[in-house]
Structures are given as C-alpha cells and as structure tokens.
Amino acid sequence: MNIQLSRAFNLYSKKLIILPFLLHKNNYIEMRIKRYYNLFIGFHILFEEGVLKMSFINWTKEELTNIKLIDQQHKETTDLINEIYESNSKQNKKAQVTFIKNLIAHLREHFETEEKYMKEFSDTGYISHKLEHDRLLNKIISTESKLNEDDLILDEEFYQSMRKWFYNHLDFKDRKLGEHLRTKNVK
C-alpha cells in the first residue's frame, strides 16, 4: 500500500468506526480504502438505514457488476461464506461440512454462469478467469475432504483467503467481465 493510500486508510478507519454515516456513495477511492480496511481489519462495517451492521463479508452496492444474475449469485456467495464463518465461531463441524457442500454447489453454478457468458460473448479474459475459478473450487473441495477425514475445523486463514479471493476476483476479473457484457447489452 503506498504512503498516500496508507494515510487515507488510517483516516478512513477512524471515520468508519466513529462516524460511519459520513461515508460517501459510489466514490472509487473510498471503495478501494474500504477494501483495504476490510482485508486488514477482518470485518466489514456498514452503516445502512440507521443501523450499524457487521459481518465477515458484506454485500453492498460497491460490489455490483451491474449484471443482474452475476450480482445475485455474488450476494448468495457472501451469504454462504458468512454462514460458514458463523458456524465456525460456534465450533460446529457438522454445520461447517454442510455449508461447505452448499458453497461448492453454489460456486459451481456461479462459475458455470460466468463462464457461459464469457464464451457466449467472446470475453478475451476467459482462460485466466476460468483458471482462477478452478483453483478456488479445487481448494475448497480439498478443504471439504480434510473436514470429512480429520478433526479439522476451518481456521482464520481459510476465511481470510476466501475474503481476499472474493474481493480481488471481483475487482480484477468480474468487474471487467461486467463491463464487457454491458457493451454486449447484457443486463
């Protein structure tokens, strides 16, 4: 993180905790700072409709690709990850296994949706985008196997890597896909 962004991050983190209602809407710089804040601090804090909300990953307007089906599936992804995270805090392995299975099924469907769009509308980033999908899915399937075989409980590293992957993938792959699809009149 460069020095200017670091200073902005420090200011932003104080503002977010003390005066969350001062957040600006649709401001790219603020969005980037919120990303860094979200990755470093661990919880997304959102002040919405007069209520302070905290969750591991929070779905907001800033995460939109403006492709309805993809955005709906991304929202479902964040909900599933948050459910898995909450089950971990209760040390409930059975719930974790169930949620991981649901996450795998959901991600398969979501990745198929994005890949179908990429093929149908000749997206030039198809190969690298698909490779990212495959790597994540294989990682989660491997984690599921370890959960079933061992006394493994999902750890903080797993959740941090999921959040980091989600935001990086959204920022560097899915937004570009959304822009490309909008040029093809996909909504």
**Per-domain residue ranges of the chain:** 3-55, 62-183
DSSP state of 54: E
* Integer Cα distance of 145 and 140 in angstroms: 9
pLDDT score recorded for residue 61: 83
List per-block mean pLDDT (blocks of 10 residues) for the chain, which spans 187 residues.
43 40 43 51 45 66 91 92 75 78 95 97 95 95 85 79 91 93 93
Report the candidate in 185, 173, 137 with the shortest Cα–Cα distance to residue 65. Answer: 173
pLDDT score recorded for residue 9: 45
Give how far Cα 64 sits from Cα of 11, 67, 81, 164, Å: 25, 8, 18, 17
Token duo for residue 21: 């209602």
Residue ranges of the alpha helices (H) in the chain? 3-18, 28-41, 68-89, 93-120, 126-149, 156-169, 175-183
Q: What are phi and psi of 54, to 5 degrees?
A: -130, 135
Amino acid at residue number 11: L
Q: What are phi and psi of 125, to 5 degrees?
A: -90, 15
**pTM for the whole thing?**
0.71
45: left (phi over 0), alpha (psi -120 to 50) or beta: beta
Q: Coil, strand, or helix at residue 160?
A: helix
* Integer Cα distance of 132 and 38 in angstroms: 21
pLDDT score recorded for residue 125: 93
Token duo for residue 89: 């805090």
Q: How many CB atoms lie within 10 A of CB 84?
A: 22
- Per the CB < 8 A criterion, the answer to whether 111 and 133 are in contact is yes
CATH 1.20.120.50 fits 62-183, yes or no: yes
pLDDT score recorded for residue 91: 63
